[in-house]
């Protein structure tokens, strides 16, 4: 997955947006894929950052489960945490809470749950599909309930943003451009709209579904220098005395002639 995060005028007086993009840290966690958590709430509220960390730890702890089963356990943990805060009457910020959790594994299966008004879309070339726009009701014992699941393909994009930014992107046909563009064109598209986006508050997270490249480890072995082995020349003085030099020369010439004759016979048999 390739992630593109854009924040517009993040220094708001009353609200803050945070995006967390978690990836597997070891081979056991690989099948669970990536975990994305997006939150917006009142400024100076550290509760949600702690909640995001709790969800992440619980999600990757259950690496033997499927991604959806692991997510369900994470949501149970999150609901227990929020219920404890509600018991302490420390949940006044829940009325303004936008919170979204998304998982994407290597086969591009997605699991998605949210509360609040965040906008989530799947971009497929000429198609722009909405997968999350409604606020769930907060009930007494459970905040996160309905999980949306689906299967996407390589090259699809997932766009998550807030309502103000979405309205601007839609009005100026930027969503259509993002749906059709290549990965290399994403940053230039937003840079070209700098003047348009300068007075708006919000964020945009764009996830491009790509197959991760396999990492190969190159192993360098030390060079081994073997000693050079030489064999002593054999001398036979007795044979040298028995065979005269002229006979040696004749034998050498005869051997060469016989060798040439053999080669010619072999070539002849191949031709005919």
pLDDT tens digit sequence for 100-118: 999 999 899 999 998 888 9
Average pLDDT, the chain: 79
Q: Is the pTM of this model over 0.85?
A: no
* Token pair in block for residue 256: 């060469």
CA 115/CA 37 separation, integer angstroms: 12
Query: Nearest to residue 35, comparing CAs of 50, 52, 17, 16?
Result: 52
pLDDT digits (tens, 9 = 90+) for 164-219: 899 999 999 999 999 999 999 999 999 998 888 888 888 999 999 987 665 434 44
């Amino acid at each position: 997955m390739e992630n593109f995060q854009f924040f517009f005028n993040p220094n708001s007086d009353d609200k803050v947006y945070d995006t967390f993009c978690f990836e597997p840290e070891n081979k056991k966690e690989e099948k669970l894929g990536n975990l994305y958590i997006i939150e917006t709430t009142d400024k100076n509220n550290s509760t949600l950052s702690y909640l995001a960390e709790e969800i992440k730890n619980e999600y990757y702890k259950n690496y033997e489960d499927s991604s959806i089963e692991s997510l369900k356990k994470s949501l149970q943990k999150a609901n227990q945490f929020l219920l404890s805060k509600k018991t302490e009457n420390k949940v006044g910020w829940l009325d303004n809470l936008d919170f979204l959790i998304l998982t994407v594994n290597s086969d591009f299966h997605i699991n998605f749950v949210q509360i609040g008004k965040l906008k989530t879309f799947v971009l497929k070339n000429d198609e722009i599909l909405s997968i999350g726009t409604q606020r769930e009701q907060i009930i007494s014992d459970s905040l996160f309930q309905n999980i949306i699941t689906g299967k996407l393909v390589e090259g699809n994009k997932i766009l998550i943003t807030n309502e103000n930014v979405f309205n601007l992107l839609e009005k100026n046909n930027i969503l259509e451009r993002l749906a059709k563009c290549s990965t290399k064109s994403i940053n230039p598209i937003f840079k070209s709209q700098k003047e348009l986006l300068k007075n708006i508050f919000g964020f945009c997270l764009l996830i491009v579904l790509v197959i991760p490249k396999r990492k190969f480890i190159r192993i360098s072995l030390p060079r081994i220098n073997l000693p050079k082995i030489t064999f002593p020349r054999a001398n036979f003085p007795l044979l040298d005395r028995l065979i005269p030099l002229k006979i040696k020369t004749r034998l050498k010439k005869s051997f060469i002639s016989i060798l040439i004759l053999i080669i010619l016979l072999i070539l002849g048999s191949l031709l005919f």
